Chain A
Amino acid sequence: MTTEPLATPPKRKTRNFALLSNRAGAAFMLPAGLLVSVFVIVPFFWVIFVSFTNRTLIGATALNPQFVGLGNYLALFDPATFFQRGQFGFSLILTTQFVLASALLGQALLGLLLAWLIQTVPPWIKRITETFVIAAWILPEVVIGFAWFAFLDYDNGTFNMLLESLGLPPGDFLLQQPFWVIVVFNTWRGAAFSMMLFNSAFSSIPPSYFQAADVAGASSWQKFRDIGLPLIRGHIVTDLILITMWTFNTFTPFLLTNGGPSYRTELVSIYNYRVAFQDFQFGKGAAVGVIMMLINLAFALIYLSLGRKRAPK
C-alpha cells in the first residue's frame, strides 16, 4: 500500500482548534467585561483616588471635594489618637486579637481536632457531626446573627435560661464580654471549613500508613503527631491563610454587637463602615479601605508564594 504525499500540508497555528472566531469571542466577552469594569475595576481605582480627597456625603466637600494628599492617611496614623477607642489603631489591634483567637486558635484548632476525631468514629457519628458543623457554616449570615443575638439576650435569651435551669447565675454576655462573644461566634461559624478541609486532607492519606503505625505500636496521639500532622502540613498552611483573610475582613459580628458597646467589638471592617457610611466621611473611609486592601494583598502574596513553593515538588 502506498500513500500519496499530501499536496498541501494543512497550515497549523499554535492553537489547533477554535470554537469561535476572535471577533465572536470578544463579543461574548464584552457584557461580562463591561460589568466587571464598571463594578470592580473602576471602583478599585475610584477608591484609591477618593482616599486622597476630603469627599463627604453632605456639606461643601460633597460637591467640591478637595485634594488633601496623604491627609486622610496621616489622620488615621496620628500617634496622638492612634490607640484610642474608636480610632483606627484600636480597631486594627482588636482585629488582630480577633483573628488570633477566633481564626487561628478557634477555627483551625477546633477544625483540626474535629477532623482528626471523626476519622475513627463510626460513620453515623461522623455524618451527624459533619451535618451540624456544616449547618453552622451554610446558614445565611443575617439568620445566624439574629439567632445568636436571641441566644445570648439577657432577659429572654436561651443561654441564660439554660444557665438558670442548671442553677447558675445568668450573665449579660453581649454587654460584659462582647469580644469573647464574637470570638466564640466566629469560631462556631467558621470551624466547618477547616474541619472539611482537614477531613479531606486526612482522608487522602493511604490507610496503610496508619495501620502500619498501629501494628508498630503507635498511640493515637503518636499517629497524629508523626504521620497525620506532617502529611497535611500544606493543607494547614492553606487553611490558615484563607481563614486569616476571611476573619480579617468579616463583617458579621456587626449583626451581634453593632461594633459596641463603646467600640469594644469594632473590627476594621466595622470601623470602615462607620467612618464611611455612618459618619459619611468618604475620603477617610476610602483610606481605611485602601489600607485593608494592602493588608489583604500581603496575605494573598504570602499565600501565592507558598503555593508556588510547594508546586514544583
Chain B
Amino acid sequence: MASVEFKNVTKSFGNFHAVSDVNFDIGDGEFVCLLGPSGCGKTTSLRMMAGLETPTSGQIFIGGQEVTHLHPKDRNIAMVFQDYALYPHMNLADNIAYPLKVRGEPVDKRHARAREVADVLKIGHLMDRLPSQISGGQQQRTSLARALVYPAKVYLFDEPLSNLDAKLRLEARGFLNHLQRDMGMTAVYVTHDQAEAMALATRIAVMDQGKIVQYASPIEIYRRPATTFVANFVGNPPMNLVEVEGAQADGRLALKAEGLGIGALPMTDAIGKALATSNRLTLGVRPEHLSLAGAGAQNTIVAPLFANENMGPESLVTLDRGEGARVTARIFTDDHLDVSDTVTLGFSAEHVHLFDSAGNRIPAVGE
C-alpha cells in the first residue's frame, strides 16, 4: 500500500486539455473516487497513474517515488478495466493467475493462489471455464480477482461496475466496500455514478473540464458542495437550484424569485462580498429537505405540478417553474400521494445553500 500524489499534472491532446494543472494527494489506505461527467478528465487521470498515458507536464508520485515516466509494469499497481479485459483464450484460473505467471511463479503455486482469491469472490467453482462461458457479474469479479491476486501498491478501478445491470451493480458495490474495509487498500476509483462514489469513497474528487472542483469526504460534499456544479452532480436526485435576486434589507438578506416565499436570512460578510459583485445568487435546497407544506409554512416554493412519481418508500414530486426550471421534492411516504395541480413545498432555513453569481458556495453562518 502506498500514497499517490499529483503535482501540477496537465495532459493535453493537441489543443484540448483533458487534465489541466491538477494537484491532489491520496493517503495510504484511502479509497478515493474520481467523480465527474464523461470527458471531465477522470479516466485520463487514472490512466496517468497507471502509466498508460504520460502527462504533458507535471509529476506523479506513488509511495513517495516519482513514477511520471515509468512504464506501467514497473509501477507495481493493479487495475480493473471497464471492459474487464479478460483473455478470451484462457480459462479463469489462467486469467486470474496471469500477473503471477509474468512474475515467474510456478504453475501449481499460482493456481493455488488464484483459487484462494477466487473463492473469496465466490467464483472458485468456475476456474475451468472460459470468460465467454460465465455471466457479466462473474466476469467482473474475475477481473477483480486478477487485480487482487498479487500485492500492489495501488489499486485502480476504471468504471468497473458500469457494464453491470442495476441489481448486480448494487451487490458488487457492497462487496467492494466490504473488501476495502477488509484489506485497507489504497484505491482510486473512477465513476460517473455519484451514488457509487458516495457509497465507496473515503474522499471524492469531483472533476469538471479537466479540473478538480472539490476534493473532500462524501459527507462534506453532500453537506457543503463547493459549487453549483457539485451541488447539481451529487445527490439523487441532485440539489434543486433556484436563481434568486438578493438584496440587503435591515441588516438581513432578502431573496426574491417567482413563486418563492422566503423569510430574511442572516447577513454575513461573505454574502455582502457576493452581493457587491452581483445580486444574482443561486439558492439550493436538496429534494429530501423539501416537504409538502400547508399555507402557514415560512419558506415555500409554489409552482404547477409537473410529475408525481411513486417509488415505493418515497415519492418524487416535481414542479415546473417555467423555462425548464424544475424543483423536485423527495417525500418519504409509502402511501399514494395525492397532490393538487399547484403545489406548495416548504423547507427550513437551515437547509438553504447559497451560491454567488460565479456558482461558488457562500459559506453559511458558522462554516
List residues of A whose CB falls within 8 A of some B CB: 206, 208-209, 211-219, 222, 226-227, 230-231
Contact = CB atoms under 8 A, between A and B. Distances in A.
B102 A215 contact: no
B79 A213 contact: no
A217 B102 contact: yes
B98 interface: yes
13 contacts: A206-B85, A208-B81, A208-B82, A208-B85, A212-B79, A213-B98, A213-B102, A214-B51, A216-B78, A216-B146, A217-B102, A218-B98, A219-B73
Contact of A217 (B88, B89, B99): B99
B51 A226 contact: no
A208 B83 contact: yes
Contacts of A212: 79, 81, 85, 146
A217 B85 contact: no
Given A213-B98, A222-B102, A206 B83 contact: yes
Contacts of A211: 50, 52, 72, 79, 81, 85
Contacts of B306: none
B280 to A, nearest CB: 46
Contact of A214 (B71, B83, B89, B150): B71
B103 interface: yes
Interface in B86-137: 87-89, 98-99, 101-103
A271 B51 CA distance: 58
Nearest to A313: B132
Contacts of A230: 89
B77 interface: yes
B107 to A, nearest CB: 13
Contacts of A227: 87
A216 B102 contact: yes
B123 to A, nearest CB: 17
A259 B123 CA distance: 64
Interface SS of chain B: helix, strand, loop or mixed? loop
B113 to A, nearest CB: 14
A211 B77 CA distance: 12
Contacts of B76: 217
Contacts of B72: 211, 214-215
A234 B236 CA distance: 49
B79 to A, nearest CB: 4
Most chain A beta-carbon neighbours within 10 Å: one of B73, B76, B88, B101:
B73
Contacts of B83: 206, 208
Given A222-B102, A226-B101, A215 B89 contact: no
A206 B81 CA distance: 12
A209 B102 contact: no
Contacts of A218: 73, 98, 102
Most buried by A among B71, B85, B156: B85
A209 B131 CA distance: 13
Given A216-B146, A217-B73, A231-B88, 19 more contacts: A206-B83, A208-B83, A211-B50, A211-B52, A211-B79, A212-B81, A214-B52, A215-B51, A215-B52, A215-B75, A215-B79, A216-B150, A217-B76, A217-B99, A218-B73, A226-B98, A226-B101, A227-B87, A231-B89
Contacts of A226: 87, 98, 101-102
The 8 closest A-B pairs by CB, nearest first: A216-B99, A212-B85, A208-B85, A214-B72, A218-B102, A215-B79, A217-B73, A230-B89
Contacts of A222: 102
Contacts of A217: 73, 76, 99, 102-103
Contacts of A214: 51-52, 71-73
A280 to B, nearest CB: 55
B199 to A, nearest CB: 25
Contact of A216 (B88, B89, B98): B98
Nearest to A216: B99
A222 B51 CA distance: 18
A212 to B, nearest CB: 4
Residue among A206, A214, A219 having the largest count of chain B Cβ atoms under 10 Å:
A214
A222 B98 CA distance: 10
Interface string B42-60: 0000000011100000000
Contacts of A209: 85, 87
B102 to A, nearest CB: 4
A227 B86 CA distance: 10
A137 to B, nearest CB: 30
Contacts of B81: 208, 211-212
A217 B98 CA distance: 9
A216 B87 CA distance: 13
**Residue in A216, A219, A222, A227 whose Cβ sees the most chain B Cβ within 10 Å:** A216
Contacts of A231: 87-89
Nearest to A227: B87
Nearest to B78: A215
B85 to A, nearest CB: 4
Contacts of B52: 211, 214-215
Contacts of B82: 208
Contacts of B78: 215-216
**Most interface-central of B89, B146, B150, B156 (chain A CB within 10 A):** B89
Nearest to A211: B52
Contact of A215 (B73, B87, B103): B73
A313 to B, nearest CB: 10
A218 B146 CA distance: 13
A211 B87 CA distance: 12
Contacts of A215: 50-52, 72-73, 75, 77-79, 156
Contacts of B101: 226
Nearest to B47: A211
Contacts of A206: 83, 85
A231 B90 CA distance: 10
Contacts of A216: 73, 78, 98-99, 102, 146, 150
